[in-house]
Amino acid sequence: MQIHSGMMRDMYDVPHFIKTLKYDVRIVMSVPKITAHGKSKKLRAYKIEPPRDAPVTWYRTTALEKLRKYGAIYLTPFSHRLAEEIDDPELQRLRCRVNYHALQFKPNIMKTSSDIVNKLRSEGHFMSIHLRFELDMLAYAGCIDIFTPKEQEILLKYREENFANKTLVYKKRRLIGKCPLTPEEVGLIIRAMGFDNTTRIYLASGKLFGGERFMKPFKAMFPRLENNSMIGSGKLEEDNRGLARSAVDYMVCLLSDIFMPTYDGPSNFANNLMGHRLYYGFRTTITPNRKALAPIFMDMEEGRASGYEERIRQVMFNTHFGAPHKRIHPESFYTNSWPECFCQMKAGNQADRCPPDNVNDVLESQFQNKEDVEAEATNQTDSTSSMETGV
């Protein structure tokens, strides 16, 4: 495997990635050169486009055949190119080792995130909220009726230019839970759950569509808001896409006492965070059931607000809050890797048992023995080749 992505090198701690996975896969920084007819040249990777949610068999047949034929292959695109449900627990565990151990942001991002968390914690517990209310998500969802005619025009134009042409009806989208929650609705939910205006909140979001008009009600309910503007200038190597600040948002949300995603549809940020928090000790996560909440908020839009707080509480207190639960379709493996990625203290199956405390020493010994065997085999091959050349 070769580290190829520029974003990978810019955002992540590559040496840590390689070191963490060295017992699973050999990773190189560049494709080796090959010698043919006395000339040395760089091996060119053959490009393959994996099908979406491809089964493991595709990689063990089609991809492997191309690898053997060309010596190197380049898989692109690579997002969602392996089926989530795999009947191989060890491959699923490898996914967790990659996502939750090997992938680590660069030291400056980790340090900045830690500084923010420490500052927030110095004043007590805090909640983080991923507020997904940006132009692209709203246009994708097709929930535009709450906006002004001018704003609707902008959303429709963006949708036409970037997404498939579909006729989307606001009420129907709302009732099936496809509309992102507004900032005010998020505030009403957490207030109904018992949080008051002293609650300290870290807000992870991009540029909110509609601006201050939508944030004003939320700020009135919860004035103690913070965001990545706490970072200050000069602490991060800025990039055009704001990825470094998004990485800080991710880490602060991961380490917060409570995390609340407001739209977990096609949002890798929210889905990965929910899975990450569950993996690291079932940390409290409040996941609004937008479909169950929709009738409540639609009644409020039409002036029928009586008893709304009790109705919201009944919906919200019927969730998992990050506790272990069986994954049921369409819930994603990346959102909930239980039970595959969790060892058992008293397991009937050896593969499910928790590793020994000295697992790194055991792996290192096995790894070293494997390298010694490979080195000896290489030496024998070289010796044989020399003898044949001499003859």
What's residue 237's pLDDT?
A: 65
Take residue 292 and report the two structure tokens written for it: 């169950």
Counting Cα atoms < 13 Å in the Cβ hemisphere of 69 gives 9
What's residue 104's pLDDT?
A: 94
Q: Do 203 and 230 form a contact (C-beta atoms < 8 A)? A: no
Distances (CA, A) of 96 to 14, 64, 69, 364: 17, 23, 31, 20
- Profile the chain (391 residues) by mean pLDDT over runs of 10 residues: 65 92 89 77 88 95 94 87 90 93 93 93 95 91 91 94 88 91 96 96 92 93 91 60 86 96 79 93 92 94 91 91 86 90 79 70 65 58 47 37
Predicted structure pTM score: 0.85
What's residue 385's pLDDT?
A: 47
Classify residue 356 as exposed, middle or buried by CB count within 10 Å of its CB (0-12, 13-18, 19+): exposed
> What SS3 state is found at 258?
strand
Counting Cα atoms < 13 Å in the Cβ hemisphere of 319 gives 20
Q: Do 340 and 92 form a contact (C-beta atoms < 8 A)? A: yes
For residue 252, the Cα-to-chain-centroid distance in whole angstroms is 14
Please choose, from the candidates 171, 168, 141, the residue with its C-alpha nearest in 3D space to the C-alpha of residue 302. Answer: 171
Residues facing 261 on adjacent strands: 130
Please choose, from the candidates 262, 310, 314, the residue with its C-alpha nearest in 3D space to the C-alpha of residue 286. Answer: 262
249-252: long-range contacts (C-beta < 8 A, 24 or more apart)? 249/130, 249/204, 250/105, 250/204, 251/105, 251/109, 251/110, 251/113, 251/114, 251/117, 252/113, 252/116, 252/117, 252/120, 252/128, 252/202, 252/204, 252/228
What's residue 263's pLDDT?
A: 85
Asked if the bond preceding 324 is cis, omega within 30° of 0, the reply is: no
> What SS3 state is found at 179?
coil
What's residue 128's pLDDT?
A: 97
What's residue 390's pLDDT?
A: 45
Going by CATH, does the domain composed of 107-323 fall within 3.40.30.10?
A: no
> Which residue in the block uniquely carries the two structure tokens 């606001």?
170
Residues facing 39 on adjacent strands: 36
What's residue 259's pLDDT?
A: 96
For the chain, the structural domain boundaries read: 6-95, 107-323
Please choose, from the candidates 235, 237, 272, the residue with its C-alpha nearest in 3D space to the C-alpha of residue 253. Answer: 272
